[in-house]
Amino acid sequence: MRASFIPAGLLFLVITSQTLARPRQCRVISKGDGKDDAPALLAAVDNCGKGGTIILPSKNYTIAQPITTHLEHASLELHGFLSFTPNITYWVANSYRFPFQNQSISWHLTGHDFTVDGHKTGGVFGHGQTWYTWARGQGNLYGRPMSISITNATRGVVKNFNIIQPQFWSSLVWNSSEIVLRDFYVNATNFDTSANGSNWVQNTDGSDTYQSSNILYENWIYQGGDDCIAFKPNSTKIALRNISCFGGAGIAFGSIGQYPGELDIISDISIENVVTKPSMQNPMTAGAYFKSWIGVQVGLPPNGGGGGMGYCKNVTIRNLHTESTVPLSLTSNLSYSQLNQSYANTSTFLWDDIHFINISGSSATDRVIDFECSSKAPCKDWSFRDINLVPANNDNTDENYVCQNLNATGLDQCHG
């Protein structure tokens, strides 16, 4: 009855302001039949991407062109998949370019203060098999696009998100800060039997960070054949929590130092509760691995390079369980193509202030640790606590540990 005492004029004002405050909503229904849904999606983002909500209720949207979705104080509710078409000729010619390693991108997510929710039923379907069969295990083929890049973004959350059969790297965080990627499921599986057991899901990284800061990865499941999560140049303040990686290369620092004269930084990395194990399709090569390029330039990126400088500093890896080829490793002599002994020990990239706490598991070889730091920049201030790694020969001798140009505390076997 109280309401009856509110003067009519005030009631009118209340209703009006509620009407004005109601966020705009745009719904996009898939056209079906493989017709391109990108124009309708982009129109909805134009109409509702500032202060509104874009709802995609259908199961499957065809995306036949590169898309940039810009959101400000807005949310994108994706209940089904954005299926990127598998026309290789088209995408090689038309993907967005990513200057680092001359790579490509099919979807940019830009803006600030946004949420993208895949509701566990949606995300990206990359039609990756067409790309895996095309590449036949060859790395970094030009024009093969990453599924999604969070680019030029601040204060964004992407959650409950699947990336199935990614074309290339599943995701990238580029020139962005204060981004949360939570509850992700990524799966890159090869079904082409002519692979004969070789790894055709190379380059299907779970996620990479580049020129970004304040990024949280939480609750991830990754299956694939490459880096689960990798830190590329200028990745700072990154946290990983509860990440399970099946197959591929584990958590990667780098590669870094690939561009001559460039200063590359990785710093303030905190990693907790990670499991890495083989998948039914691919071995697991590491729990965590560190990879820097030689100190001189040999060839050009993506697969050649070197001569960069910089440092990785302030890293803690806690509660890592790994069943892998070599659980922890560092190489300072990257060049995938140029294995020439004379370039060893030329890297000046410094691995500094790196700590391992509670690392358990086993290796499929007699090596559990293989750290080959460069004599030009010996690894500095490393420490170990509660390390319980069992080599295949089940015989914990110095042979199981390689620690070149590295004196760590807390690990007797690692004394230079």
Question: Which amino acids are annotated catalytic?
Answer: 226
Q: Residue 369: name the closest of 410, 341, 339, 312 by CA.
A: 410
Q: Which is nearer to ligand NAG, 25 or 359 (CB)?
A: 359
Tell me the C-alpha distance between 86 and 263, whole Å.
37
DSSP label at residue 88: H
When the beta carbons of 53 and 151 are compared against ligand NAG, the nearer one is 151
Asked if residues 370 and 328 have their Cβ atoms less than 8 Å apart, the reply is yes
Q: Within positions 269 to 288, which residues make up the interface with ligand NAG, using CB under 6 A? A: 270
Count of CB atoms situated within 10 Å of the CB of 191: 12
Q: Which of 116, 112, 108, 117 is nearest to 155 (CA)?
A: 112
End-to-end CA distance of the chain: 83
Chain centroid, CA 191 distance in Å: 23
**CA dist., res. 374 & res. 410, Å (int):** 21
Residue 339 makes contact with ligand NAG by CB under 6 A: yes
Is residue 261 part of the contact set for ligand NAG (CB under 6 A)? no
Determine the Cα angle at 300 with ends 348 and 303, to 5°.
85
Question: Which positions from 390 through 409 interact with ligand NAG, judged by CB under 6 A?
Answer: 405-407
C-alpha distances in angstroms, 346 versus 79, 307, 309, 341?
51, 9, 11, 10
Contact between 211 and 233 (Cβ < 8 Å) = yes
Tell me the two tokens of residue 351.
Answer: 């691995």
Q: From the CB of 2, what's the least distance to ligand NAG, in Å?
A: 45
- For the CB of residue 354, give the shortest distance to ligand NAG in the complex, in Å: 11
In the stretch 211-230, what mask flags binding to ligand NAG with x, by CB under 6 A? x-------x-x-x-------
Minimum distance, C-beta of residue 362 to ligand NAG, in the bound complex (Å): 20
Q: Which is nearer to ligand NAG, 304 or 362 (CB)?
A: 304
Q: Which is nearer to ligand NAG, 360 or 407 (CB)?
A: 407
The first and second tokens of residue 124, run together, are: 């990206």
Residues 108-137 touching ligand NAG, rule: CB under 6 A, are: 108, 110, 125
Minimum Å gap between C-beta 405 and ligand NAG is 5
* SS3 category, 410: coil
Indicate the residue among 75 and 236 with the shorter CB distance to ligand NAG.
Answer: 236
**Closer by beta carbon to ligand NAG, 219 or else 396:** 219
Compute the distance between CA of residue 44 and CA of residue 46 in angstroms, rounded to an integer. 5
90 binding ligand NAG? (CB under 6 A): yes
Single residue of 115, 314, 358, 396 touching ligand NAG by CB under 6 A: 314
By rule CB under 6 A, what string of x and - marks binding of each residue 28-57 to ligand NAG?
------x-----------------------
Nearest to 189 by CA among 178, 200, 173: 200
Residue nearest to ligand NAG (CB): 344
Window 1-30: residues binding ligand NAG (CB under 6 A): none
Residue written as token pair 């910089």: 310
- Interface residues toward ligand NAG, by CB under 6 A: 34, 60, 62, 68, 83, 87, 89-90, 102, 108, 110, 125, 142, 151-152, 154, 175, 183, 187, 189, 196, 211, 219, 221, 223, 233-234, 242, 246, 262-263, 265, 268, 270, 314, 331, 333, 339-341, 344, 372, 378, 405-407, 416
